Structure 1
Amino acid sequence: MSSIAIEPHTKDYAASRWDPRAWRIAAISLAPVRIIQGFIYWGGGSRRFIYAPSKLDPHAAHWMANKFQTAMPGALLGMGSVISFMLHHFVLLYAGVIVFSAAELIAGLMLMLGLYTRAAALVSMGFSVVLMLMFGWQGATCIDEWTMASCNLAMGATLLLAGSGAWSLDNVLLRRKPQRAQSRGFRWASGSMALPLSDAAFSKLALAVLAFTVAFSVGTYDYFRGSVVSPFHSGPVSPTAHHLTLTQATLLPDASVRFHVALDAGTPEAPVHIVKAALLGADGVVVAQWDAATLSRTPKSAFDNDYAYNRFGPGPYGWRAPMGAASSITLPAPASMAESAGAARTLQLTDVDGRVFSAPLQGATQ
């Protein structure tokens, strides 16, 4: 009776897919991903604590609150309201900045060292989601904030599933106490071994992580820029062109004008410059106006800013404001044509690029 030899490479793949050598090769291959992912977040935290501590100084120009405020107009899923609330509560804001920065520093260092790698990778995924929700809409030529955070989300998801496995402190901990191999908690948090799951369960987990990563990344990209199920667009909130929303415009008895203005679109890299304000009559004819020189002499007391950080105020060429600023402003009575201001129906502001923003005027003679 003859027999047929079975070559080693024809063995059932399902029985050998977790071969220790294959796991080791995968672990070594992923080392650059783990180390650079860690460095990215360690770098974010270390800049604030070590290399650029002014980012944690509320009195410095680079204080992190200014950066957060620029994100408000385009933040998703209520994050703008969360930022606004924190900006109005300094203790909560400062504590949040410190905790977030420290978490970045620690999680980044853990990833670089391969210490409790899966736990650190999960934290890094949380960072990426928060950053995409807050800053993902920004980017003058492309959505660069989204691009960086989405790549970090994918890297974190990969490390969550694969762990560290090679050149890591997780391996050192396992060698010192081999019994840790029997601890489900250690295997879920570290990265020196495969997750304590059956093949079927691991496949389901991997598919779930993949589905979330793809759906969240592609979904936010389509919302910000289209080009997936809709044509390309510059976003619900433009990251390039400044936009002012005027509300509550009221003509006061002394012919001064009180109104609220918010800079709710545009690039955080450059402030908006308002070079002209005008009151228009029912026929669209200018009945009063303030030029750039007049606006630049507006006293600071005329600005009641909503936030203590990015603010509206007088500048060398009219008014200026960084991204996310909002303020109630009182325009003084016009030096000329004050007697005709009562016929005004519309308040109009013009920025340095010639864009015009307007609001109906309350309190004018009907």
Structure 2
Amino acid sequence: MSSIAFDATSRERTVTAPDQRTWRISAISLMSVRVIQGFIYWGGGSRRFIYAPDKLDPHAAHWMANKFQTAMPGALLGMNHVISFMLHHFYLLYGGVILFSAAELIVGFMLMAGLFTRAAALASMSFSVLLMLMFGWQGATCIDEWTMAACNLAMGATLMLGGSGAWSLDNVLLRNKPQRADSGWFQWVSGSRTLPLSDAGFRNLALAVLSFVVVFNVGTYSYYRGSVVTPFHSGPISPTAHHLTLANATILADGSVCFHVALDAGTPEAPVHVVLAALLDANKMPVAQWNAEALSKMPKTAFNNDYAYNKFGAGPFGLRAAMGAASTITLPALQVHPGAIESARTLQLTDVDGRVFSTPVQNMLGTAR
């Protein structure tokens, strides 16, 4: 005998006892997914508020702004501009960090407890998307941040469709007020009952969610590393090899050299060390050089950093900068014949690994004379 019944008027599927048993088995099966998905986000929020509060301290080395700045060069869909704007507006940045951390804490608790499970799962999906757009490109051996967020997106999608069902506060709310079973908003935001959709409607929603998850996850993976329809690559922004972009290099009237530099690729786990700066003539021969010792003695006034967090500065082995740093730097004038300086055409920086970065130089020394 069939366990599926249909209303004669609406022709929509109604749930019978065997179907309720299947629903409950599915709900119990999702318990591990729900609790661990919740714990992941609870852990993120609780670390900042309880166990590692220095992450929320603007004066601490582990202040979250530093992490955001490391993500900025490779962020997708304009998120780099959003991060840059926030880094320039402290109160917006601080409020955003507190709000996001609190949201992680609350959503994590809601998922673990099974409270308004579908709404919490949808919020967790938005967190995963945001994290993939910001941090997904990072990871020295693999795309670590992407892997975690991609799994969390799929887990959140599953919980949004499946709900909490068993052993949840949603069930307690329903038991205390049974009339909530007929409330549309309660059925959509909680997880104690199936969604108020026909079989066809639920299938179409599930396929739409699946399409989004697959396209977004596979699409971002392909962009970051290939290996889908193209060969494997290290990504448009390398997560391992540091890269410096130089611009606006100018030899000033007093013989000093001013230029803008940004560390826009590489690992956030280690700073870049610039051990040599040089001016080259048209034949690529050096006409002036600042070695590691000279660079390491430059004063703080020589650095006009774009951001207040990760910065360029003098280090023990030359110039030093953390990932995402950008600055306008002024190299001191050297005791070099003016004619040699006037022949300079290129500014070149060399890091400790031997990588070379250069940009054309504008010479104002001759015009001043």
Structure-2 separation of matches of 1:337 and 1:314: 26
Q: Does 1:28 align with 2:28?
A: yes
Q: Which residue of 1 aligns with 2:227?
A: 227
Distance 1:10 1:201, change over 3 A: closer
Q: Which residue of 1 aligns with 2:81?
A: 81
Structure-2 separation of matches of 1:175 and 1:37: 25
Q: Which residue of 1 aligns with 2:172?
A: 172
Distance 1:11 1:172, change over 3 A: closer
Q: Give the TM-score taking structure 1 as reference length.
A: 0.95
CA shift digits 1:180-231 (9 cap, x unpaired): 1000100100000000111111111001000000000000000000011111
Runs of 4 or more off by more than 3 Å in structure 1?
8-12, 14-18, 335-339
Q: Which residue of 2 aligns with 1:148?
A: 148
Q: Which residue of 1 aligns with 2:94?
A: 94
| 2:57 partner letter | D
Structure-2 separation of matches of 1:296 and 1:338: 25
Structure-1 separation of matches of 2:341 and 2:127: 52
Of stretches 331-340 and 231-240 in structure 1, the one that deviates more from structure 2 is 331-340
| 2:75 partner letter | A
Tell whether the 8 Å contact from 1:350 to 1:357 is kept in structure 2 after alignment: yes
Q: Secondary structure at the match of 2:119?
A: helix
| 1:354 partner letter | G
Please report how far the alpha carbon of residue 15 of structure 1 lies from its aligned counterpart in structure 2 after TM superposition: 7.4
Q: Does 1:37 align with 2:37?
A: yes
Structure-1 separation of matches of 2:337 and 2:120: 65
Q: Does 1:191 align with 2:191?
A: yes
Q: Which residue of 1 aligns with 2:65?
A: 65
Tell whether the 8 Å contact from 1:27 to 1:166 is kept in structure 2 after alignment: yes
CA shift digits 1:288-331 (9 cap, x unpaired): 00000110000010000000000000000001100000000000
Tell whether the 8 Å contact from 1:273 to 1:352 is kept in structure 2 after alignment: yes
Q: Which residue of 1 aligns with 2:9?
A: none
Structure-2 separation of matches of 1:314 and 1:208: 53
Tell whether the 8 Å contact from 2:344 to 2:363 is kept in structure 1 after alignment: no
Q: Which residue of 1 aligns with 2:285?
A: 285
CA shift digits 1:110-147 (9 cap, x unpaired): 00000000000000000000000000000001001000
Q: Secondary structure at the match of 2:236?
A: coil
Structure-1 separation of matches of 2:80 and 2:295: 30
Q: Which residue of 2 aligns with 1:272?
A: 272
Q: Secondary structure at the match of 2:48?
A: helix
Q: Secondary structure at the match of 2:261?
A: strand
Structure-2 separation of matches of 1:351 and 1:251: 21
Please report how far the alpha carbon of residue 339 of structure 1 lies from its aligned counterpart in structure 2 after TM superposition: 5.2
Of stretches 159-168 and 355-364 in structure 1, the one that deviates more from structure 2 is 355-364
Structure-2 separation of matches of 1:308 and 1:296: 20
Q: How does 1:155-166 map to 2 (within 5 A)?
A: 155-166=155-166
Tell whether the 8 Å contact from 2:226 to 2:233 is kept in structure 1 after alignment: yes
Structure-2 separation of matches of 1:305 and 1:159: 45
Structure-2 separation of matches of 1:337 and 1:273: 29
Q: Secondary structure at the match of 1:197?
A: coil
Q: Which residue of 1 aligns with 2:354?
A: 354
Tell whether the 8 Å contact from 1:65 to 1:309 is kept in structure 2 after alignment: yes
Tell whether the 8 Å contact from 1:70 to 1:268 is kept in structure 2 after alignment: yes
CA shift digits 1:53-111 (9 cap, x unpaired): 00000000000000000011000000000000000000100000000000000000000
Aligned residue pairs, count: 359
Q: How does 1:275-354 map to 2 (within 5 A)?
A: 275-336=275-336, 340-354=340-354
Q: Which residue of 2 aligns with 1:263?
A: 263
Identify unmatched segments of 5+ residues in structure 1: 1-5
Identify unmatched segments of 5+ residues in structure 2: 7-12
Tell whether the 8 Å contact from 1:223 to 1:235 is kept in structure 2 after alignment: yes
Q: Which residue of 1 aligns with 2:10?
A: none
Please report how far the alpha carbon of residue 334 of structure 1 lies from its aligned counterpart in structure 2 after TM superposition: 1.9
| 1:90 partner letter | F
Q: Which residue of 1 aligns with 2:253?
A: 253
Tell whether the 8 Å contact from 1:288 to 1:337 is kept in structure 2 after alignment: no
Structure-2 separation of matches of 1:117 and 1:170: 7
Tell whether the 8 Å contact from 1:255 to 1:342 is kept in structure 2 after alignment: no
Q: Does 1:125 align with 2:125?
A: yes
Tell whether the 8 Å contact from 2:4 to 2:15 is kept in structure 1 after alignment: no
Structure-1 separation of matches of 2:337 and 2:56: 48
Q: Give the TM-score taking structure 2 as reference length.
A: 0.94
Q: Secondary structure at the match of 1:362?
A: strand
Q: Which residue of 2 aligns with 1:3?
A: none
